[in-house]
Chains A and B, each alone.
Chain A
């Protein structure tokens, strides 16, 4: 079975601060994919990144960066110099390769205070 844990229910930061959202996952599968999605106040789900289990390289995209560590089963997401537009609920998700059920964590609500 797969499980994704986002222990931080809510985080508040002041604009321009850095913030890290934690994601810990459980799976017995050797091949899988991890994802981050953003859900802004408007409610839609926006895809941010996908990582496969063989690729532990960290990734940076502008102010966003992701740290994937198989040894600790974690896939953490860092926002550098946060902005008000980053305020949203962020979901981490896991899927076994070839499967259809994308398992989501319960989400972390990030509030960036101006």
Chain B
């Protein structure tokens, strides 16, 4: 059971480039989430999706775009990467509205 996977696990890019981080889950969970982890901030919600074709902003959405055409996939795109977007990005999912969120292994992104 693969659970929730993220790719790539590590990414180095340059300022201004577009970057897409992938998230895939095999549990058929309705909800999916993107968080970023930064020192001194813990994890903060970027975007979430309650179902396919339904997405909404979280706490820190600026500079990011998401889509969810299939239940199992929830890609996160940085349209024009900035150094402040250097972070560790975690994808998470949960089966329903009040269930526990389970996290993927994370993607370390460095923007030069």
Residues of chain A whose beta carbon lies under 8 Å from any beta carbon of chain B: 4, 33, 35, 37, 43-45, 47, 50, 91, 93, 97-98, 100-102, 104-107
Contact = CB atoms under 8 A, between A and B. Distances in A.
Contacts of A50: 100
Nearest to A100: B48
Interface in B56-112: 56, 58-59, 88, 90, 92, 97-98, 100-106, 108
B32 to A, nearest CB: 10
A106 B40 contact: yes
Given A43-B106, A45-B90, A97 B98 contact: yes
B100 A44 contact: no
29 contacts: A37-B103, A43-B88, A43-B105, A43-B106, A43-B108, A44-B104, A44-B105, A44-B106, A45-B43, A47-B100, A47-B102, A50-B100, A91-B42, A97-B98, A98-B98, A100-B31, A100-B45, A100-B50, A100-B56, A100-B58, A101-B48, A102-B35, A102-B43, A102-B92, A102-B101, A104-B42, A106-B41, A106-B42, A107-B42
The 7 closest A-B pairs by CB, nearest first: A104-B42, A45-B103, A104-B43, A101-B45, A44-B105, A106-B42, A100-B48
Interface size class of B (residues with CB under 8 A): 20 to 34
A105 B88 CA distance: 16
